[in-house]
Structure 1
Amino acid sequence: MLRRAGCQVWSDQHAILTSRVDFRGRSTLSGYQPVLIFAALIVGFGVVSLAVARVLRPSRPDSVKLMNYECGAEPIGPAWVQFPAGFYLVALVFIVFDVLAVFLFPWALILRAAGLPAFWVMAAFVATLGLGWLYAYREGVLEWK
């Protein structure tokens, strides 16, 4: 069978890329063996620790142990309390501007090297968040009632 030099190089590269063995003859997954062994040891240690603790712990439930505890006082009324939605909305607005800061600081460091297209992409991003802030402001999300 005749092979041209170009075909031979391509077939050798294809064999290397598609095989599960690297150029030294080792399995490509052999580099992950220590990580997998360590992960298995961690999971095994956790499972064994929980099982031993469950077997060895004393379990003597009574009415006092089963009662709810609230800062040393006897519980009065239901334990579930509804929080105002204002906390939730303020948290969402905070997260939006936190994401803005996470993207804005690294962008400012590479702006000169990235050029004008990066500027316009970030300008569109900031404008979108600005519209979101304007909407939140008009809806009264930022006013504490």
Structure 2
Amino acid sequence: MHGTAPAPALLAADRSADYFESYSVVGLLALVGLLFVAVAFGAGRLLRPVVPTPEKLLTYECGVDPVGEGWAHTQVRYYVYAFLYVIFAVDSIFLFPWATVFAAPGYGGATLVEMFVFLGFLAVGLLYAWKKGVLAWT
């Protein structure tokens, strides 16, 4: 034998040093990112002109002068449509990994059943929304 193997305690110490060294790199990167944001906001505050006028202090309403109360009623229907869109958009993202697993040998039947259960839940949710009249735009 040309050399002796290092003791297990030394190997563990080397591994833990490498482990914490990688975390120090992540911490340093996070610190640099925070510093960059702080410098950017500070520079913006120092360089921007500050000339307050009564027009600038008004509430901005998409180019229209604000008239009446600041409290407006909006229909919940808009939010429900947006919520339904987000639900179905996120759920459709799950179809892509399923398609790749479905193509793999040996997974066809199980993934097909799982996807029909998944699509069944989506269909039940859509039928529930339809029965409640959420999808009627009147």
TM-score range, shorter chain: 0.7 to 0.9
The one-letter code matched in structure 2 to 1:137 is W
1:105 aligns with 2:92: no
Provide the aligned C-alpha RMSD in A: 2.9
Aligned counterpart, 2:79: 88
Aligned counterpart, 1:141: 134
The one-letter code matched in structure 1 to 2:122 is L
8 Å Cα contact 1:96-1:129 kept in structure 2: no
Structure 1 35/74 Cα, relative in aligned 2: closer, same or farther at 3 Å? same
Tell me the distance in 1 between the aligned counterparts of 2:10 and 2:95.
42
Tell me the distance in 1 between the aligned counterparts of 2:64 and 2:21.
58
Larger Rg: 1
Stretches of structure 2 lacking an aligned partner (at least 5 in a row): 1-6
Aligned counterpart, 2:3: none
Tell me the distance in 1 between the aligned counterparts of 2:89 and 2:64.
39
Tell me the distance in 1 between the aligned counterparts of 2:117 and 2:38.
50
2:36 maps to which of 36, 45, 66:
45
The aligned length equals 130
Q: What's the offset of the Cα at 1:100?
A: 2.8
8 Å Cα contact 2:80-2:134 kept in structure 1: yes
Tell me the distance in 1 between the aligned counterparts of 2:10 and 2:134.
59
Q: What's the offset of the Cα at 1:58?
A: 4.4
Aligned counterpart, 1:7: none
* TM-score relative to the length of structure 2: 0.72
Structure 1 109/143 Cα, relative in aligned 2: closer, same or farther at 3 Å? same
Q: What's the offset of the Cα at 1:34?
A: 3.8
The one-letter code matched in structure 1 to 2:124 is L
Aligned counterpart, 2:111: 118
1:75 aligns with 2:66: yes
